[in-house]
């Protein structure tokens, strides 16, 4: 069983490197402070793993065709593309704002969408929801791995190993985003450029999934 868990953990690492996953993390993490960036990556990983677990349990008893499972890729791609369109719309309509202030002798930068500055948890809950939706796109890949482990039987230990693998990559990527936030997003021009790049990348990645 230990070898099986290592295989699942490694699969989670490889799965997390998908451009759609990293693009989604970037879309939500750009411009965020350290605590929120790490929370976003954590919630995305948990949501992703939860969806895969639920679908894997369902597929133990229901034999679905590969064509039907292919709709998961369409959902995943559509979510990424809609996020890209949203970010580009925010840039085009000047709805991305930046404000600096000094607190405890340290400069703090706040970046937000909209005209007024409001502290909400919508981005963290949205990251969890996106993790849930994009998990559907990973079902087919997981079936291949589960086919050689325990006869395709899924339990919480296996999905936990997978989620830890995904989480490890997402956390490292989150640290990279934090570095970018700290060193390159000190002015509104660079912030808008970063969101424009994230939006365009989301559209390219989503389109590639649909036509791939």
Cα atoms found within 13 Å of the Cα of residue 109, Cβ hemisphere only: 20
Task: Give pLDDT, residue 204.
Answer: 93
Residue 196 scores a pLDDT above 90: yes
Q: Mean pLDDT, to the nearest integer, of 180-203?
A: 88
Prediction pTM value = 0.75
Task: Give pLDDT, residue 92.
Answer: 92
Q: Mean pLDDT score of the chain, rounded to an integer?
A: 77
> Tens digit of pLDDT for each residue in 7-60?
778 888 887 887 878 888 888 788 777 788 888 888 888 888 788 777 767 766
Task: Give pLDDT, residue 147.
Answer: 53
Strand partners, 97: 112
Helix (H, G, I), strand (E, B) or coil at 2: helix
Distances (CA, A) of 34 to 25, 29, 98, 123, 132: 14, 9, 16, 14, 23
Distances (CA, A) of 96 to 26, 34, 111, 114: 16, 19, 7, 6
Reading the block at residue 170, the tokens are 């997402």
């Amino acid at each position: 069983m230990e070898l099986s868990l290592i295989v699942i953990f490694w699969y989670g690492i490889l799965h997390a490197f998908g451009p759609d996953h990293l693009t989604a993390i970037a879309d939500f993490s750009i411009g965020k402070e350290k605590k929120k960036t790490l929370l976003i990556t954590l919630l995305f990983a948990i949501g992703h793993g939860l969806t895969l677990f639920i679908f894997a349990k369902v597929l133990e008893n229901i034999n679905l065709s590969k064509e039907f499972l292919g709709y998961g890729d369409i959902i995943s791609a559509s979510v990424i593309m809609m996020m890209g369109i949203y970010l580009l719309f925010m840039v085009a309509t000047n709805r991305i704002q930046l404000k600096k202030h000094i607190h405890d002798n340290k400069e703090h930068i706040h970046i937000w969408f909209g005209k007024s500055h409001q502290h909400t948890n919508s981005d963290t809950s949205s990251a969890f929801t996106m993790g849930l939706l994009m998990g559907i796109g990973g079902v087919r890949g997981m079936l291949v791995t589960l086919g050689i482990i325990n006869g395709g039987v899924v339990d919480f230990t296996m999905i936990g190993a997978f989620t830890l693998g995904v989480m490890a990559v997402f956390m490292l990527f989150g640290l990279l985003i934090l570095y970018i936030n700290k060193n390159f997003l000190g002015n509104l021009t660079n912030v808008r450029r970063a969101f424009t790049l994230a939006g365009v990348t989301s559209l390219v990645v989503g389109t590639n999934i649909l036509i791939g």
